[in-house]
Every structure is written in C-alpha cells, then in structure tokens.
C-alpha cells in the first residue's frame, strides 16, 4: 500500500468522513469536519478511520496505558479482557457500601 502524501491528508480524511456518514466509530456521535482526526495505527502506520479529536486522544491514551499494564504483551488483549470483565453479570453480588452515598446525602438535605 502507498504512503499518503501530506497534501493528500485532508481530501482523504474528508472522503473517509463521508464514507462513515459523518459518524465517529467510537462514540457513534455526529462528526464534523473541523473536529475530525485521521486515526492511524502507531505500529503499522496504516490509516484506520476518522475519529473525533477527543476520541482519537482517548484511544491513544488507553492503548498506551493498556500497554503499560500488559507489560509488553498485547495491549489489545488487555482491553478485550477489560471489556469482558465489565460485561459479566455481577447482580448476585452484594452492593459496595460506598455506592450511591453522595446521592443519598443529597436526598436527606
């Protein structure tokens, strides 16, 4: 695959944005051209999609953090494990004692 030239970045980003129906694939919210960032893999260099600047920043921070936690192993596996952990059903477990305390305090006032 060819490497994009700097002058090709904007037209390519706008074409991808149109192909994505002006939606960010991470948050599924409307994505305007002025807030669009062309995301790419920092390992391979391949362009992925267009994201909100804030979503692109969050993706990079999460990947960096997960890489530190996985001690050099695959950070994507760590994030996958985290998603699976969040999706487990814990409703049979007791509720943590500090859960919802601020809301209960406001009710009493």
The reply to whether 42 belongs to the active site is: yes
Please provide residue 51's backbone torsions phi and psi, each rounded to the nearest 5 degrees.
Answer: -125, 165
Residue 50 or residue 109, greater confidence:
50
First to last CA, the chain: 64
In this predicted model, what pLDDT tens digit does every residue of 45-89 receive, in sequence order? 999 999 999 999 999 999 888 888 877 678 888 889 989 999 999
The reply to whether 52 belongs to the active site is: no
The reply to whether 21 belongs to the active site is: no
Please enumerate in sequence order all residues whose Cβ is within 8 A of that of 24, keeping only pairs 6 or more positions apart, or say none: 30, 31, 50, 51, 52, 55
CA dihedral of 45, 48, 49, 51, whole degrees rounded to 10: -60
Residue recorded with tokens 């002058």: 7
Please provide residue 47's backbone torsions phi and psi, each rounded to the nearest 5 degrees.
Answer: -65, 140
The reply to whether 40 belongs to the active site is: yes
* Domain positions in the chain: 6-69
For residue 52, the SS3 value is: strand
Please enumerate in sequence order all residues whose Cβ is within 8 A of that of 12, keeping only pairs 6 or more positions apart, or say none: 4, 38, 47
pTM of the model as a whole:
0.76
Q: Catalytic residue among 2, 21, 42, 46, which?
A: 42
- CATH 3.40.50.300 for domain 6-69, yes or no, is no
The reply to whether 64 belongs to the active site is: no
């Amino acid at each position: 695959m060819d490497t994009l030239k700097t002058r090709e970045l904007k037209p390519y980003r706008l074409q991808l944005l149109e192909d994505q129906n002006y939606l960010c694939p991470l948050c599924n919210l409307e994505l305007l051209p002025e807030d669009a960032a062309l995301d790419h893999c920092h390992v391979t260099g391949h362009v992925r999609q267009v994201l909100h600047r804030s979503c692109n920043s969050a993706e990079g921070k999460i990947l960096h953090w997960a890489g530190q936690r996985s001690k050099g192993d695959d950070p994507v596996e760590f994030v996958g494990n985290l998603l699976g952990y969040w999706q487990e059903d814990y409703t049979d477990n007791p509720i943590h004692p500090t859960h919802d305390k601020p809301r209960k305090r406001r009710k009493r006032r």
